[in-house]
Amino acid sequence: MSTTVTKTRTTATERRTVPSHRAVTPGPVRKNPVPGFLRRTLTGGAALFWTAIVVVPIYWLVVTSLRSQSDFTSDSPLALPSHPTLDSYRTVLDGDFTTYLLNSVVVTAGTVVIAVAVALMAAFSIVRNAGSRFSRVSFRLFLLGLAIPLQAVIIPVYLLIIRMHLYDSLLAIVLPSAAFALPITVMILVSFLRDVPRSLFEAMIVDGAGDWRMLWSLAAPLARPALMTVAVYDGLQVWNGFLFPLILTQSGDKAVLPLALTLFRGQFGINVPATMAAVVLSTLPMLALFILARRQLVAGLTAGFSK
């Protein structure tokens, strides 16, 4: 009897002392925080560096326009003006700045209206006849225009303007500028109109609408963000254009703002503060347009490329 009890106790003790072979679940591995911190540091440093590249030239531009010619040569370039003055702005406004501004407005508005109107009709035709060979070839020809640099065709454009008796006129700047604005404008509008459901066009056809009514009553209102985008983009390119006004005009009363900035150069030097004041004044109209149209500009840049 005692032997049986002893064996039972020994067996129970052995059971309790038998090591468990159950697998132990490892704890969560701690990630090294150094790479994440380094990545954030590099990203923040790159952002600060890019901000400095953008902000410092603008700061220097505005600060220099508030200096006099003598202070410009004596003060530190990035220091605040010791004697701020608006004489440079008075010098610019007392000249023919308003004439140059009006010329730039006429050229920019005329170019944007022609380019956007023609591009909208071309994009509508390409999208509505997407299956035809003519439509595909036409779209490829417009895309081919993106690969042609302006400088490569300036001599043929000059000779063509001479043959058309348009030299030294604002129309001589408007027509080539509109032609070179068409490829990118058509590409953006085609990408946008392709996302318009075909059922909307089919519904208007059932109602008896023709192509012109579908263009102006359906396509144009729906493409308003894209139209605003290309209008601002084309306007900015034409507003800052220099080569066409330089080659295709010669009279002072036909000069636009980028070309007029060279007029502040004298025989023995250049009035840098006055030039910077003219640059500041010339950027204000496009800056105001960008601020007013920034929402639709962003919407047009992001729309039409979802597919």
For the chain, percent of residues with pLDDT exceeding 90? 32
Burial group, residue 288, by CB count within 10 angstroms (0-12, 13-18, 19+) = exposed
Contacts of 133 (CB under 8 A, 6+ apart): none
pLDDT at residue 106 tops 90: yes
Its pTM stands at 0.78
Range scoring the smallest mean pLDDT among 18-32, 133-147, 222-236 = 18-32
Burial group, residue 113, by CB count within 10 angstroms (0-12, 13-18, 19+) = middle
Q: What is the pLDDT of residue 34?
A: 53
pLDDT at residue 18 tops 50: no
What angle do the packed helices 87-94 and 272-292 form, to 10 degrees?
80
Considering the chain, what is the average pLDDT of its residues? 82
Which segment, 30-44, 274-288, 292-306, is predicted with the most confidence on average? 274-288
Over residues 167-177, the mean pLDDT reads 94
The answer to whether the beta carbons of residues 297 and 290 sit under 8 Å apart is: yes
- Coil, strand, or helix at residue 48? helix
Range scoring the smallest mean pLDDT among 18-27, 30-39, 47-56 = 18-27
Over residues 277-292, the mean pLDDT reads 87
Q: What is the pLDDT of residue 1?
A: 46
- What is the number of helices (H) and of strands (E) in the chain? 16, 0
pLDDT at residue 24 tops 70: no
pLDDT at residue 15 tops 70: no
pLDDT at residue 304 tops 70: no
Q: What is the pLDDT of residue 35?
A: 66
Over residues 160-183, the mean pLDDT reads 94
Structure tokens of 207? 């109602």
Q: What is the pLDDT of residue 6?
A: 47
